[in-house]
Chain A
Amino acid sequence: MNRRLFAALLIGGAASGAARLLAATEPGIEVSVAASRFEYTPDKVKGKVGVPLTFVLTSLDRIHGFKMPEFGIRTDIVPDKETRVTITPTKPGTFTFFCDIFCGDGHEDMAGTLVVEG
């Protein structure tokens, strides 16, 4: 995947100091996350400070959102399409990712947690 495509996926990422583009040659972590009403699987993800983390996002049913305000990123997750979003955490802590496209009764509970270790 080239840098231009990464840039398209990182909607709003430039607004946050916590998110940076992943260079193609830079080692990092990849984690696959499947979205379905009203959960992410897995809903707990681990990351490390300074290590690029790529979410490989798929949807099992309908369009969902994936938003992490602390990292300035959000994207749609569309069925039958793999969506990749990369962040590089700059500090340890617990961060939430959640669906920001209303998807029904239970939408409000559709969230997961990223735990970043130092």
Chain B
Amino acid sequence: MQQTDRRQFLKLAGLAGVTFTAGLFPRGPADAQSGDFHFVQFSDTHWGYKGAANPDAEHTLERAVATVNGLATKPDFIVFTGDLTHTTDDGKLRRERMQRFKEIVSALSVKDVRFMPGEHDASLDKGEAFKEFFGATHWTFDHKGVHFIALDNVSDPGAKLGDEQLAWLAADLKQRKTDDRIVVFTHRPLFDLVPNWDWATADGAKAVALLMPYQNVVVFYGHIHQEHHHMTGHIAHHAAKSLIFPQAAPGTAPKRPPPPPFDASLAPLGTRDVAMAKAVTITELPVVKA
């Protein structure tokens, strides 16, 4: 899709999201025949949360579903990068939340929807309930010349990928050419964003090291409830907003502050559209109140 077309369809959809464009595939697409496309990232929906940080919590996810359904050009697929549900010690309640979450997102008009766990979904039972409802916690697929890899850094409550998954990643990457276009999804950042706030993956550096020989790698993640952009060498990492409440900017206090007071405009919340072409263009999609 051409840039002008994208601006047009977002304008038609009434979405004035902020656009971030970068040469995120620095060496260009490996396959000249690769088609341009776009997908939408949802993150940190925390279905089941009740609290002052978002009194609108019972409706915010539904609003975001309606917003994305209103896009003039449908994305090829939608990915949820974790914390689909808010954590609970009660396994029965966890499953009820996952069931209700599934019912709400079944209203998405795009039916290719992919799910990853966050620590709220998976860390207390090592992903058991998540797998019952959504399948594997790490996976790959290919789409229009791009190789997508979802890594699970939450089912281990110590925020580790673990040696087994790292070996799986290494084996997958061995099948790629060094100039292949690769997109990685994770929940937590793979790099040490703010270790004091637990915004890191214990063995994330090992995954980054495995990815480093590949020239065209982009990482999309969640967990920190805000837009954030970071480079580890030539690899770009982009954090997404949440659909429940924002968090403080990284590293602004020794201990992570509580979420800011609720903003009734819902402006700090949203999803994002990601257009994949020579450059990757990220357009933030605010939640639209009916």
A-side residues, CB < 8 A to B, are: 65, 67, 69-70, 94-96, 98, 100-105, 107-109, 111, 113
Contact = CB atoms under 8 A, between A and B. Distances in A.
Interface stretch (B86-94, B171-179, B268-276): B86-94
- Sorting the interface of chain B by its residue count into under 10, 10 to 19, 20 to 34 or 35 or more gives 20 to 34
Contacts of A94: 254
A104 B122 CA distance: 11
B159 A100 contact: yes
A104 B86 CA distance: 10
B158 A100 contact: yes
Given A65-B158, A69-B196, 9 more contacts: A96-B255, A98-B196, A100-B159, A102-B123, A102-B154, A105-B86, A107-B119, A109-B256, A111-B255
Chain A interface helix/strand/loop/mixed: mixed
Nearest to A93: B254
Contacts of B192: 69
A101 B157 contact: yes
A44 B157 CA distance: 25
A102 B196 contact: no
A69 B195 contact: yes
Contacts of B198: 98, 100, 108
Contacts of A103: 157
24 contacts: A65-B158, A69-B196, A94-B254, A95-B254, A96-B254, A98-B197, A98-B198, A100-B158, A100-B159, A100-B202, A101-B157, A102-B87, A102-B124, A102-B154, A102-B157, A102-B159, A104-B89, A104-B124, A105-B120, A109-B256, A109-B258, A111-B255, A113-B254, A113-B255
A35 to B, nearest CB: 14
Contacts of B256: 108-109, 111
A114 B258 CA distance: 20
A13 to B, nearest CB: 15
A114 to B, nearest CB: 10
Listed residue (B159, B192, B196, B256) with the most chain A CB atoms within 10 angstroms of its CB: B196
Interface string B183-200: 000000000100111100
